[in-house]
């Protein structure tokens, strides 16, 4: 005999979403409402309940933290002989906006996100929705399950860790090579040291012909330079 | 009959540490070596093994992430009718350096930390060690156990959430009131907007008589102002 949950599923307009979650993460969701909320971009907010906007921002806040913790653990155990500076840098590469937006496109989240602003899909709505989905998964199934899914279905499949380690230098050198070829003056400037001693971050700007193109911060100058270079590179690619 | 673990415990020079962990967190540790490492400040690094400095920096990196995730979850569930801006601000109040240093003094971590630099104990070594202990606890007992301990033995006992909500305005107004009384010119300046759209942070400086006293960043101008005001206030208190 079919129970009411199964009936609800079979005749539900959410059937597509059940299937999508299964395709992406490898399991059927328990509470489908969490996943629906995770895919609702703030531009598609239709209701405000007791002062809370019904969109994915709260879940994104939660998912962002859970994602960081799981990746921190994963890297801690994967690299027993690396210092915390390396681990911090590697994590920021994995969870950077650029990286999560790319991931969300690979996962096809653009077809699932509800958005009231057509341009939002092209911006960081994808990465945000991915984080919100992690928040939903965590509330639905708990930390250990989320960790297993994230590592086996996402990190191991969609990230090339060896490549990420190398990518440390590649954007900065890419940008410098481009500057030499195009006779443009590319400069990296440390503008600011932010935060307290042990957690100090560096704010680095990329200037091309004396015009600031991008800024980024990180726990090392090298890391910040590279993140800023990556941003600048993305901008240049868009312009070309 | 005593088993070897128990024997090791009873005759161990780590007996004091076993008891301290029990006193602080309410349980006896499994792998005592993790906790010992968590209490070793970088100034007391005596060995480098395969390039890794044997001190609490790696554990601090891990614990920082786990702490953030658990607090994010706790606030998410405690405040179902607050938007993510509020949750983000509340979390940064709980896990700020100032707050964790205070907590570590309450817990008496200064008596347990091994440090090669006497001044380190007065600085942020306490907060760092607390984060590293959370990393040790997580590796020793897992996420769910860590979450339970952290909420029941630390948050519920050592933090007054209602007071924290109110503290939002108190440092800024404290500083302004002091300025009026002392005829000093206190100014808050937004110097920089850092990061990408949806995760934008504001860098705010506190100036007293045109001299920059402190800087802080946060996801809202209000939050950054308050953190910067708190830092400035701490400095003023030290000077008096």
CATH number at residue B50: 1.10.1520.10
Query: Measured between alpha carbons, how far is residue A87 from residues A35, A189, B62 in Å?
Result: 30, 24, 9
Neighbours of A111 (CB within 10 A): 9
Q: Is A64 a catalytic residue?
A: yes
Mean per-residue pLDDT, B102-130: 87
A102 pLDDT band (50/70/90 cuts)?
Answer: very high
- Chosen for mutation from A52, A65, A119, A150 (greatest number of chain B CBs closer than 10 Å) is A65
A1 pLDDT band (50/70/90 cuts)?
Answer: very low
B200 pLDDT band (50/70/90 cuts)?
Answer: confident
Residue-averaged pLDDT of chain B: 87
Decide if pLDDT at A68 tops 50.
yes
Mean per-residue pLDDT, B25-42: 95
| pLDDT value of residue A25 | 96
**Residues in A touching B124 (Cβ below 8 Å):** 196-198
What six digits make up the tokens of B31?
A: 């792998």
- Rounded CA separation A169/A225 (Å): 9
Decide if pLDDT at A119 tops 90.
no
Residues B24 and B59 in one domain: yes
Neighbours of B207 (CB within 10 A): 16
Our count of domains for chain A comes to: 2
Beta A186-194 vs A48-49: how paired, if at all? Answer: unpaired
Residues A105 and A76 in one domain: yes
- Rounded CA separation B102/B99 (Å): 5
| pLDDT value of residue B64 | 96
In the stretch 7-36 of chain B, residues with CB closer than 8 A to chain A read: none
Of A166, A196, A211, which one is at a domain's C-terminal end?
A166
Torsion of Cα atoms, A177 then A180 then A183 then A187, to 10°: 80
The structure's pTM equals 0.73
Beta bridge partners, B48, equal B53
Residues A143 and A215 in one domain: no
Tell me which of A225-229, B6-10, B110-114, B124-128 is least confident.
Answer: B6-10
Beta bridge partners, B203, equal B192, B217
CA of A52 to nearest chain B CA: how many angstroms apart? 5
What six digits make up the tokens of A213?
A: 């193109």
Residues B161 and B180 in one domain: no
Residues A113 and A64 in one domain: yes
- Chosen for mutation from B198, B223, B227 (greatest number of chain A CBs closer than 10 Å) is B198
Decide if pLDDT at A32 tops 90.
yes
Of A133, A151, A166, which one is at a domain's C-terminal end?
A166
* CATH number of the domain bearing residue A194: 3.30.160.20
What six digits make up the tokens of B100?
A: 């964790």
Asked if B58 lies within 8 A of A194 by C-beta distance, the reply is: no
User: In this complex, which of A76, A142, A196 lies closest to B97 when CB atoms are compared?
Assistant: A196
| pLDDT value of residue A8 | 61
Query: Measured between alpha carbons, how far is residue B31 from residues B36, B140, B143 in Å?
Result: 9, 6, 16
User: In this complex, which of A52, A64, A72 lies closest to B62 when CB atoms are compared?
Assistant: A72
Residues A116 and A223 in one domain: no
Q: Find the helix or strand (DSSP H, E) in which A52 lies.
A: strand A52-53
- Rounded CA separation B186/B228 (Å): 12
**Residues in A touching B195 (Cβ below 8 Å):** 217
Residues B28 and B137 in one domain: yes
A10 pLDDT band (50/70/90 cuts)?
Answer: low
Residues A144 and A162 in one domain: yes
- Rounded CA separation B93/B160 (Å): 11
Decide if pLDDT at A201 tops 90.
no
| pLDDT value of residue A48 | 86
CA of A109 to nearest chain B CA: how many angstroms apart? 18
ipTM field: 0.73
Of B103, B137, B166, which one is at a domain's C-terminal end?
B166
Decide if pLDDT at B85 tops 70.
yes
Mean per-residue pLDDT, A22-44: 94
**Whole-number percent of chain A with pLDDT over 70:** 90
Query: Range of B203's domain?
Result: 171-239
What six digits make up the tokens of B216?
A: 């802080």
**Residues in A touching B84 (Cβ below 8 Å):** 57-58, 60-61
| pLDDT tens figures, B153-187 | 999 999 999 888 887 556 887 788 788 777 788 88
- Rounded CA separation A205/B162 (Å): 40
The residue annotated as part of the active site, out of A131, A140, A218, A230, is: A131
Dump strand ranges (E) for chain A. 48-49, 52-53, 186-194, 201-208, 211-218
CA-nearest residue of chain A to B197? Answer: A124
Residues B143 and B176 in one domain: no
| pLDDT value of residue B116 | 86
Residue-averaged pLDDT of chain A: 87
In the stretch 112-171 of chain A, residues with CB closer than 8 A to chain B read: 123-124, 128, 138, 142-144, 147
| pLDDT value of residue A51 | 82
Residues B11 and B81 in one domain: yes
Q: Find the helix or strand (DSSP H, E) in which A211 lies.
A: strand A211-218
**Residues in B touching A64 (Cβ below 8 Å):** 72
Cβ of residue A217 closer than 8 Å to a chain B Cβ = yes
Residues B149 and B178 in one domain: no
Tell me which of A166-175, A207-216, B3-12 is least confident.
Answer: B3-12
Residues B127 and B216 in one domain: no
CA atoms within 13 A of residue B102's CA, in its CB half-sphere: 11
Q: Is A196 a catalytic residue?
A: no
């Amino acid at each position: 005999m079919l129970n009411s949950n199964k009936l609800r599923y079979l005749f539900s307009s959410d059937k597509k979403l059940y299937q999508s979650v299964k395709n992406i993460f490898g399991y059927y969701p328990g509470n489908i409402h969490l996943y629906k909320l995770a895919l609702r971009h703030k531009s598609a907010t239709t209701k405000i309940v007791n002062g809370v906007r019904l969109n994915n921002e709260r879940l994104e806040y939660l998912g962002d933290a859970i994602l960081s913790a799981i990746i921190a653990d994963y890297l801690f155990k994967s690299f027993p002989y690396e210092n915390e500076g390396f681990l911090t840098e590697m994590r920021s590469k994995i969870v950077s906006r650029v990286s999560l937006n790319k991931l969300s496109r690979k996962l096809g989240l653009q077809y699932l996100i509800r958005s009231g602003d057509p341009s939002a899909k092209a911006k960081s709505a994808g990465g945000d929705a991915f984080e919100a989905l992690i928040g939903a998964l965590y509330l639905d199934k708990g930390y250990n399950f989320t960790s297993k899914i994230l590592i086996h279905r996402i990190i191991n499949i969609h990230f090339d860790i060896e490549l990420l380690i190398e990518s440390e230098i590649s954007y900065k050198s890419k940008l410098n090579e481009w500057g030499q070829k195009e006779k443009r003056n590319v400069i990296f400037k440390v503008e600011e040291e932010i935060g307290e001693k042990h957690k100090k971050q560096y704010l680095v700007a990329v200037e091309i012909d004396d015009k600031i193109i991008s800024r980024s911060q990180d726990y090392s100058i090298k890391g910040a330079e590279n993140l800023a270079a990556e941003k600048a590179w993305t901008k240049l690619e868009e312009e070309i």
